[in-house]
Amino acid sequence: MSGKYTTVKAAVDAAPSSSGRYVIYVKGGVYNEQVEVKANNIMLVGDGIGKTIITGSKSVGGGTTTFRSATVAAVPDGFIAQDITFRNTAGAANHQAVAFRSGSDLSVFYRCSFEGFQDTLYVHSERQFYRECDIYGTVDFIFGNAAAVLQNCNIYARTPPQRTITVTAQGRTDPNQNTGIIIHNSKVTGASGFNPSSVKSYLGRPWQKYSRTVFMKTYLDSLINPAGWMEWDGNFALDTLYYAEYANTGPGSNTANRVTWKGYHVLTSASEASPFTVGNFIAGSNWIPSSGVPFTSGL
């Protein structure tokens, strides 16, 4: 950019609709605004996590819908973000408050931070890839019905007022949808100041009937409850969901006392886990290379 825009929104709104990549450099600073990306192939590049910060405070508690609460939202295809913090400061008491919502097909997020409490990162729809990102939250803080893979990411639990943490709430409504939240080669731990003694923490709960979430080769710290997963409402979805764990490590990864739901699986072979890799689940080898972002195609 020429530096002629003082807000991210103005720069994004001025972007042309074109087939080529359009790069917007967002220099270090705090941008308190709500941004909606409306053109294909936009790339936002900042100066780094904690340096370029786009922040907002819309929330359900504050009178907005979950969907509209997003500080930044991208729907058109091919969105890329790199070296930026996306934040929602509404706070835990205001319930759903999204930092980023992506419905962008073939979207890529690299070295970004997503900071909020409930519903921080809305992986709404389409194919999405997250690499070396940080995600902070309390309840359902990675949620939606995209086909999303998070690889080499740090997932940080914050202390919630309701004393229960659910990392994911995946939204698959039909068994034929090729969607799911895949957490690969990542780390789930408490944020600084997190007090695990007063909190029960779970890997996910089924927001919809066919909720699908897989944690593989991920470090699960001691905050994760031995049951691993939590009900949404009684027996809802427990037979129809697909929750799986493969080759996770850390004190929270022991599957001996996990839930006994029909839809829960401990995967023991690479062949069982490989459908959920970047290469297979989102065909990432076809489209991530053009972004220049590193990725691991297989396990």
13 is known as an active-site residue: no
β-pairing, 154-157 vs 134-137, is parallel
Chain position carrying tokens 């789930």:
188
Q: How far apart are CA 46 and CA 52, in angstroms?
A: 5
Rounded Cα–Cα distance for residues 280 and 275 (Å): 5
The tokens 């819908």 sit on which residue?
65
In DSSP terms, which residues pair with 122 in a beta bridge? 101, 143
Q: CA torsion sign, 263 to 202 to 101 to 77?
A: negative
Residue matched to tokens 């972002």: 293
- Residue 124 and residue 108: Cα distance in Å, rounded? 14
Query: How is residue 21 written in tokens?
Result: 């990549």
The Cβ of residue 89 has, within 10 Å, a number of other Cβ atoms equal to: 17
For 290, other C-beta atoms within 10 Å of its C-beta total 12
Residue 236 tokens, joined: 């809802």
The one catalytic residue among 105, 134, 140, 221: 140
Question: Which residues lie across from 285 on neighbouring strands?
Answer: none
Three-state SS at 202: strand
Is the distance from CB of 26 to CB of 48 less than 8 angstroms?
Answer: no
| Distance from C-alpha of 240 to C-alpha of 122, rounded to nearest angstrom | 22
CA-based torsion, 122, 83, 298, 103: positive or negative: positive
Tell me the catalytic residues.
140
